[in-house]
Amino acid sequence: MLIEVIEGTTKPYSVNNQSFIRSGSETRPADDNEMSNLIRARRKEEYSWENSPALEATLEDLDREEISQAIELSNNIGRTTRFKTDDPLTFLTHFQLFRNNQFTNSAIVLFGKEPTYFLPQCRIRIIHLERVNRLVNMPIPCWLKKTCLNRSEEFKTTSGRIAYSK
């Protein structure tokens, strides 16, 4: 008897909380690195709005100064490859903001000069929650604060909340 099992698309699969790798005729438990690779490969194939292409967006539609600040912040943190501030595509590609020669919706939200041109449903809200101290005191990267404030027309503080007004 011959049983053929078609390879699945949503790897890794597990049995009794253990995942396995098939290599030729051998089946063995997957190590942490193999698990990480399987999960990363699956995520590349899954649909997400953030990873969808922002049609017709070009590098000219992104704020190069904001990208440079993000590169400097990334370099200062030092958890990944060091990037050159004059090479934004390498940085954006590494963080999957530029995929298959197209900018993603995430790239437009984070760095777009006019994000609502490409994503009319997109808007930025800044809310101060006084009772949630761990959120209020959470560090926000300076370039993200700048992005939020630069893209708003006017913010005013009222009764402990930051509210948008035109």
pLDDT per position as a tens digit, 66-91: 999 899 988 988 878 899 999 999 99
Kindly report the pTM of this predicted structure.
Answer: 0.55
Q: Delimit the domains of the chain by residue range.
A: 14-45, 52-118, 123-166
Q: Check pLDDT > 70 for residue 144.
A: no
Q: Check pLDDT > 80 for residue 106.
A: yes
Which residues fall within 8 angstroms of residue 22, CB to CB, at 6 or more apart? none
Q: What is the pLDDT of residue 164?
A: 42
pLDDT (average), residues 51-69:
93
- The DSSP bridge pattern shows strands 155-158 and 98-99 to be unpaired
pLDDT per position as a tens digit, 10-49: 777 778 888 888 788 888 898 888 888 888 877 766 677 8
Q: Which helix (H) or strand (E) holds 20?
A: strand 18-23
Higher pLDDT, 21 or 163: 21
Contact assessment for residue 100 and residue 108, using Cβ atoms and an 8 Å cutoff: no
Higher pLDDT, 102 or 164: 102
Separation in Å, CA 132 to CA 124, 127, 128, 129, 136: 20, 11, 9, 6, 6
